[in-house]
Each structure stands twice: as structure tokens, then as C-alpha cells.
Amino acid sequence: MTVATNDLEKRLGEQLLEAAKETKRVVKGYNPGRFYQMMKNYGPVETARRLLSRASTDGFERMVKAGRVDLTVESIVYNNLEFHPLFGSVALSNCASRLGK
């Protein structure tokens, strides 16, 4: 893993954690505890890969209902071209599909 990749992963992690923090503010009573645990156990890239490999997630559905798709892992990964090299075509395709792109 190169320094550039480490920096990219760090930026992804920062954006994902900031979005998770905002989800707690936006959706009253929602605590993305499993997401935080995944981030701790797997780091940002593997956490995103695991979430993107699922059909959908509770967090994604809650953000759609709250009108804040911008806070989803899908949106953060898909809408930031700098993160694309960290993910395969299937993960990016799953993002696009869920986001209706």
C-alpha cells in the first residue's frame, strides 16, 4: 500500500465518520453503532466494500427516508471520483444502482 493510498483511505474514513456523525443528528433515535464497530474492526475501505456488497442497509434506507442520501456510503464513494480506485466495478455499480444513476 502506498502513501497516496493511505492518504486516500484516511480521507475516505474522515468523510464516512463525519457522515455517520451527521446521521445521528438528522435521524433522531438512530445510532449507527454497527457502522462504527465495522470501521473500528475493518477500516474505511473494507467497511465500505462490505456494505456495498449487500443488497441494502438499514442506514441507507433511513437516509433515503430522511432525504439525506448524500450521507450514505454509496453517495460518498460514488460521487467522489478520487475514491473510485479503492473499489472494484461491482461496488461502484452497486452504488450507481442504489443512487438511481
DSSP state of 34: H
Chain centroid to Cα 97, Å, comes to 15
Average pLDDT, the chain: 92
Whole-structure pTM value? 0.91
Distance CA 18, CA 6 (A): 18
Domain that holds residue 28: 3-99
Find where cell 477500516 sits.
43
Per-residue pLDDT tens digits for 82-97 = 999 999 999 999 999 9
Tens-digit pLDDT profile for residues 14-46: 999 999 999 999 888 889 999 999 999 999 999
Provide the CA 14 distance to its chain's centre, in angstroms: 11
* pLDDT the model gives residue 1: 55
Cell of residue 61, nine digits: 434506507
User: 3-state class of 31 per DSSP?
Assistant: coil
Q: Residue 33: its pLDDT value, please?
A: 92
